[in-house]
Amino acid sequence: DESLSTAVQFAVLLRQRGVKVGLPSFPDIQNKPYLDEQSVMHWPVIMLYPESGQVELIEDFAENSAFDAMLDMMFQDDGSDLPWDERGEYTRRGVTLYYSAGAGEPMPQKKLLEWLDGHNVGELERTWRKDDFRKIDPKRTLAEVLTREDCVLPGLPTVYVVAENDFHREKFFNGDF
Digit-coded pLDDT (tens) for 1-17 = 565 578 888 899 999 99
Write the Ramachandran bin of 170: left for phi over 0, alpha for psi from -120 to 50, otherwise beta.
alpha
pLDDT value for 53: 85
User: Can you give the residue ranges of every domain in the chain?
Assistant: 2-174
pLDDT value for 130: 67
Top pLDDT among 175 and 6 is at 6
pLDDT value for 79: 62
pLDDT above 70: residue 119: yes
Longest Cα–Cα distance of the chain, Å, equals 52
CATH fold of 2-174, please? Ubiquitin-like (UB roll) (3.10.20)
pLDDT above 90: residue 125: no
Q: Count CB-CB contacts under 10 A for residue 45.
A: 21
Please state, rounded to an integer, the average pLDDT across all residues of the chain: 87
If you average pLDDT over residues 146-161, what whole number do you get?
94
Quick one: CA dihedral 162, 167, 173, 176, positive or negative?
A: negative
| Alpha helices per DSSP H over the chain | 2-17, 67-74, 109-116, 142-146, 166-174
Report the distance separating Cα 84 and Cα 35, nearest Å: 34
pTM greater than 0.75: yes
**DSSP secondary-structure letter at 141?**
B
